[in-house]
Amino acid sequence: MNKLIVILSFLITTTQLWNQKKIDLTSDESLTKIFNQTEIKGLESMVRYVDNMVLNRKNETDINKAYHLFFEEIAQSKEYIVPFEEIEKYKFLENLDSIQFATIWNFAYHIDMISTGDTIYRNLDNFKMLNIKPYSKYMDYLKVIGKDDAYFKSLQQEFEGAGNLMQDSAEWFPKNHTKFDFNIPKNRLWAAVYLLRREETTEMKLDRYLKNK
């Protein structure tokens, strides 16, 4: 009898923790109008991938709290924090269905010039970089939710105008993480996209690039 109680308690606790971690993106009506089922599964895979990293890094079971703790760490750290080892991150993203990947991302493989120290490197091929596409279904989604949310409107307009997330905006988000509830689908999805987008510095990439040549 005691063993049965222990097993039931474990199952109930495990279920509660799983439900606490998992987020139902389909509860966002704007999202379901933009993305099809296959694409939503891809978005959910990305969120789960980032969720697991954040929970493990902060040793937390409350996913909302874990995200806040991690963004606070990024905001307060004097060193640039890279959330994922890039080879593993790229492997995960490349294993997504190509349609799922294309809802947000593309890869660039060429850089015209890098200046570091007294050295200038030009026309580097196979120099892999992950980009958020300025025109994609995710941008369509930001435009829709931006009608009622000034932050997401500004994000979409910045990508459309500049083609990328500017440094000031990239730094603003972790510094202002308390303004966001990461149990809300649009916020959780953006947090996942933001952390996946957070690449190594150009210098870090260059160092590995030169070693592998």
pLDDT attached to residue 21? 64
Predicted structure pTM score: 0.88
d(CA 170, CA 173): 6
Give counts: helices (H), strands (E), the chain.
Answer: 11, 2
Residue 156: per-residue pLDDT: 98
pLDDT for position 143: 98
Distances from the Cα of 135 to the Cαs of 61, 103, 122, in angstroms?
35, 9, 28
Task: Return d(Cα 191, Cα 51) in angstroms, integer.
Answer: 10
Task: For residue 124, list its beta bridge partners.
Answer: 111
Distance spanning both ends of the chain, measured CA to CA: 64
Tens place of pLDDT per residue across the chain (213 aa): 444 444 444 344 334 344 456 899 999 999 999 999 999 999 999 999 999 999 999 999 999 999 999 999 999 999 999 999 999 999 999 999 999 999 999 999 999 999 887 889 999 999 999 999 999 999 999 999 999 999 999 999 999 999 999 999 999 999 999 999 999 999 999 999 999 999 998 888 998 888 887
